[in-house]
Amino acid sequence: MLDALFKPRSVAIIGASNNPLSIGHIVMQNLLDHDFKGPIYPINPKSKFIKSFRAYTSVSEIPDEVDLVNISIKNTLVPYVLEDCGKKGVKFAIVHTAGFKEVGEEGLQLERQIVEIAHKYGMRIYGPNSQGIQNSDPAISVYANFTFVPMSPGNISIVAQSGGVGETLKLHLYRIGKGIRMYSSFGNEADVSMNEIIDYYGQDEETKVIMVHIETMKDPAGFLEVASRVTKKKPILALKTGKTSEGTKAVASHTGSLIEQETIADVIFKKSGVLRFHSQEDMIDAAIAFSNQPVPKGDRVVIVTNTGGPAIIAVDECISAGLKLAELSPKTITTLKKLVFQEAIVSNPVDVVATAGPEQYGGTVEALFKDPNIDSLLLVFVTAPFVDCEGIARKLGELGRTSKKPIVCQVMTIEKWQEVIRLIREGNIPVYDFAETAARALSAMTKYGTFTQKKEPVYKTFKVEKKKAGDILARQKGKDKFLPQDVVFELLQCYGIPAVKTVKVKKEEQLGNAAEKVGYPLVLKVDSEKIVHKTEVGGVAVNLKAKKELVSSFKKMARKFAKYKPGYILQEYMSEGQEVIMGAKSNQGLEPTLMFGLGGVFVEILKDVQFRLAPLSEEDVLEMIRSIKGYPILAGARGEKAVDVDKLAEILIRLSQLASDFPEISEMDLNPVFALAKGKGAVVVDARLRIVR
């Protein structure tokens, strides 16, 4: 419970000072400027008064209870004052002071020490090296933060790992006259965590939308749990910057090397319904829309404009963001035709033309609200000097206030018509400078709308031979290594994942018998833990039609690979099917990441892969398969037969079950899996699996 942090009844400032350039001074000034509703107690052993407030030499002298202290004294002194705070019964200490974990081992020790002291007294540490918190709730109005953007009430709450990013977000909202609800930039996260703050915002009735900036996720599993709960109630918008540590590890499998370009954050966001943004601007534009507007019930948008070009841009951007252009109902078309001028275009986009006045533009929007075929509206409005622009804006504002469908708006104007923007914003319609921005904000809202309407996922588990698989892995334990093909195939078989007919050979004399078992045409491959990518070194010979060809290929490989003392395998040759890749990679403290995409030897070049966090529901997996760019190939493009997508989905779920059951499988890829025609299933042709113990 973070109430005493975000809703403190009293605040003491340790390090309060009359020097206007000190943190203590600034925090105190911020509390005063924002009319904090509780008492403020400056602590300074050297001054009697700070800003005409009586100063105390220590918190123990304060006659009343203290919920929160802000500390900005020298790092090595922090432990001492915390002892005082603990004895006094202080609940939270915001430590602004830097010089802890971020400066190395000594700082880390000091950081551990302050948390230990706090916990001894049941007190919590916020920070250290933190900016602080804010809560604009008029009943509290606490600005316990040393920054400068003025605070006013709103419904957007922000938690930013970087204070600089947090400040940028606040600043933008301030400039367009929008308030915030709560704000927090938590520093080193030694005790109070980002996840707890998100959870707290989630429970705050007045917070309608949450913006999060993350550099490193300290507790990914905790984030997943909290975010999954919160996104059911309100949207979480996230900006994740910086590379994950995964990127620096050496990886040998396809899954491993492809996954480093992705981040674990992405799969966590997808699983928990967090909306990811790649720029501060995009995130804040979407937050503004969420803050003002209801979430769309579907993806059908209508665009209304009084000028041509920008509407075309809006259409392009909406479509590329995954929205659909709504088809107007016949009733709406009849209504609009009576309403608008003759030269207007009544389709989607609706072009009311520049001469449209309040009756035409406003009336059109009103009619579109009533159309059941429409889920959201994007308005493009230029202040044409020959019409009553304020009249239009007033009408739009009125409509915006009562609308059950979300509206976003691009307004093109100059200072002279600032009233237009004000009137539209007053109607809760977000105003943007560009149609693209409006479209992207609407698309984010639509995505969230789709997410909230999704059914609870059902996770199916297949009956598998888990014990046998465990025994197989146990026999391989010891070193960190890739397992031989036949062992991997045996493991896959335990989980009902079909592999192509494969026979092991060691010597040339065994070729005849083995080939008979497999049948021609066949494939010869080298099999050694030292050779990870066989094609690259000439270790794969496909479509061998007769014994003579097989023997000559074998001789060549035997000569080439003699130094590895390898084994070989013969495999049935797959003459048709599409090559896909499936993979899994373990995550510490989390379920494994699964991968699916177009397969073959060029996967790293194509990079047409999707990642999801296990477990996978049937819906998740089908969505994952359909999300790759090459999906039309699987669905049967250009006269090719569609492949057995249902079977691919099943294999992926089985694979995810295998990876979840055995976290010692550090990375695995099945590449290629030959996806056969619908109803014919799919088979694994090559598999790589590494275990770590």
Binding site for ligand ADP (CB under 6 A): 500, 523, 525, 533-535, 540, 542, 571-574, 579, 600-601, 671-672, 685-686
Give residues with Cβ within 8 angstroms of 398, minimum separation 6. 362, 427
- The one of Mg ion, ligand ADP, none whose footprint includes residue 535, by CB under 5 to 8 A per kind, is ligand ADP
CA-based torsion, 393, 394, 399, 401: positive or negative: positive
Give residues with Cβ within 8 angstroms of 411, minimum separation 6. 381, 382, 383, 420, 421, 424, 431, 432, 433
Q: Which CB, 210 or 523, lies closer to Mg ion?
A: 523
| Contact (CB, 8 A) for 425 and 178 | no
CA distance 595 to 600: 14
Q: Which CB, 199 or 686, lies closer to ligand ADP?
A: 686
Task: Tell me how far, at minimum, the Cβ of 542 lies from ligand ADP, in Å.
Answer: 5
Based on the shown chain and the rule CB under 5 A, indicate whether residue 644 belongs to the binding site for Mg ion. Answer: no
CA-based torsion, 300, 304, 308, 313: positive or negative: negative
CA angle, residues 614, 619, 624, in degrees to nearest 5? 65
Say how far residue 651 (Cα) sits from the centre of its chain.
26
DSSP SS3 for 131: coil
CA distance 270 to 265: 9
- The one of Mg ion, ligand ADP, none whose footprint includes residue 542, by CB under 5 to 8 A per kind, is ligand ADP
Q: Which CB, 251 or 622, lies closer to ligand ADP?
A: 251
Phi/psi of residue 379, nearest 5 degrees: -105, 135
- The one of Mg ion, ligand ADP, none whose footprint includes residue 223, by CB under 5 to 8 A per kind, is none
Q: Which CB, 12 or 648, lies closer to ligand ADP?
A: 648
How many residues make contact with Mg ion (CB under 5 A)? 2
Report residue 556 as tokens. 């060549």
Choose the stretch contacting Mg ion; rule: CB under 5 A; options: 132-140, 332-340, 475-483, 666-674: 666-674
| Contact (CB, 8 A) for 88 and 121 | no
Choose the stretch contacting Mg ion; rule: CB under 5 A; options: 17-25, 174-182, 397-405, 680-688: 680-688
| Contact (CB, 8 A) for 243 and 216 | no
Based on the shown chain and the rule CB under 5 A, indicate whether residue 686 belongs to the binding site for Mg ion. Answer: yes
- Residue 501's alpha-carbon distances to 250, 370, 469, in angstroms, are 32, 61, 19
CA distance 135 to 100: 26
CA distance 383 to 417: 8
Q: Which CB, 104 or 538, lies closer to ligand ADP?
A: 538
- The one of Mg ion, ligand ADP, none whose footprint includes residue 10, by CB under 5 to 8 A per kind, is none
- The one of Mg ion, ligand ADP, none whose footprint includes residue 615, by CB under 5 to 8 A per kind, is none
- The one of ligand ADP, Mg ion, none whose footprint includes residue 265, by CB under 5 to 8 A per kind, is none
- The one of Mg ion, ligand ADP, none whose footprint includes residue 534, by CB under 5 to 8 A per kind, is ligand ADP
Task: Tell me how far, at minimum, the Cβ of 602 lies from ligand ADP, in Å.
Answer: 9
Task: Tell me how far, at minimum, the Cβ of 474 lies from Mg ion, in Å.
Answer: 26
Report residue 594 as tokens. 């699964």
Conformation bin of residue 86: beta by default, left when phi > 0, alpha when psi is -120 to 50: alpha
| Closest by Cα among 223, 197, 135 to 2 | 197
Task: Tell me how far, at minimum, the Cβ of 533 lies from Mg ion, in Å.
Answer: 7
| Closest by Cα among 629, 631, 628 to 640 | 631
- The one of ligand ADP, Mg ion, none whose footprint includes residue 136, by CB under 5 to 8 A per kind, is none
Task: Tell me how far, at minimum, the Cβ of 483 lies from Mg ion, in Å.
Answer: 14
Give residues with Cβ within 8 angstroms of 132, minimum separation 6. 27, 70, 94, 96, 126, 144, 145, 146, 147, 184, 185
Task: Tell me how far, at minimum, the Cβ of 687 lies from ligand ADP, in Å.
Answer: 9
The CB-side HSE value for 68 (13 A sphere, CA atoms) comes to 29
Task: Tell me how far, at minimum, the Cβ of 648 lies from ligand ADP, in Å.
Answer: 16
Choose the stretch contacting Mg ion; rule: CB under 5 A; options: 201-209, 467-475, 490-498, 671-679: 671-679
Based on the shown chain and the rule CB under 5 A, indicate whether residue 620 belongs to the binding site for Mg ion. Answer: no
Report residue 111 as tokens. 């950081």
Q: Which CB, 284 or 505, lies closer to ligand ADP?
A: 505
- Taking CB under 5 A as the criterion, the residue among 671, 683, 689, 690 binding Mg ion is 671
Q: Which CB, 61 or 576, lies closer to ligand ADP?
A: 576
CA distance 512 to 551: 9
- The one of ligand ADP, Mg ion, none whose footprint includes residue 503, by CB under 5 to 8 A per kind, is none
Q: Which CB, 442 or 488, lies closer to ligand ADP?
A: 488
- The one of ligand ADP, Mg ion, none whose footprint includes residue 56, by CB under 5 to 8 A per kind, is none
- The one of Mg ion, ligand ADP, none whose footprint includes residue 208, by CB under 5 to 8 A per kind, is none
- The one of ligand ADP, Mg ion, none whose footprint includes residue 268, by CB under 5 to 8 A per kind, is none
Q: Which CB, 240 or 525, lies closer to ligand ADP?
A: 525
Beta bridge partner(s), residue 502: 571
Choose the stretch contacting Mg ion; rule: CB under 5 A; options: 34-42, 483-491, 675-683, 685-693: 685-693
Q: Which CB, 387 or 542, lies closer to ligand ADP?
A: 542
Choose the stretch contacting Mg ion; rule: CB under 5 A; options: 189-197, 389-397, 542-550, 679-687: 679-687
Residue type, 482: F
Q: Which CB, 244 or 671, lies closer to Mg ion?
A: 671
| Contact (CB, 8 A) for 100 and 190 | yes
Say how far residue 660 (Cα) sits from the centre of its chain.
22
Task: Tell me how far, at minimum, the Cβ of 577 lies from ligand ADP, in Å.
Answer: 8
Choose the stretch contacting Mg ion; rule: CB under 5 A; options: 180-188, 375-383, 567-575, 681-689: 681-689
Task: Tell me how far, at minimum, the Cβ of 244 lies from ligand ADP, in Å.
Answer: 26
Biggest CA–CA distance in the chain, Å, is 101
CA distance 74 to 96: 10
Task: Tell me how far, at minimum, the Cβ of 686 lies from Mg ion, in Å.
Answer: 4
Helix axes 78-88, 105-120, angle to 10 degrees: 10
Choose the stretch contacting Mg ion; rule: CB under 5 A; options: 92-100, 323-331, 498-506, 664-672: 664-672
Task: Tell me how far, at minimum, the Cβ of 486 lies from ligand ADP, in Å.
Answer: 13
Q: Which CB, 103 or 542, lies closer to ligand ADP?
A: 542
CA distance 37 to 506: 82
CA-based torsion, 664, 667, 672, 676: positive or negative: positive
Identify the residue whose tokens are 């359909």: 626
Q: Which CB, 167 or 686, lies closer to Mg ion?
A: 686
The footprint of Mg ion (CB under 5 A) covers: 671, 686
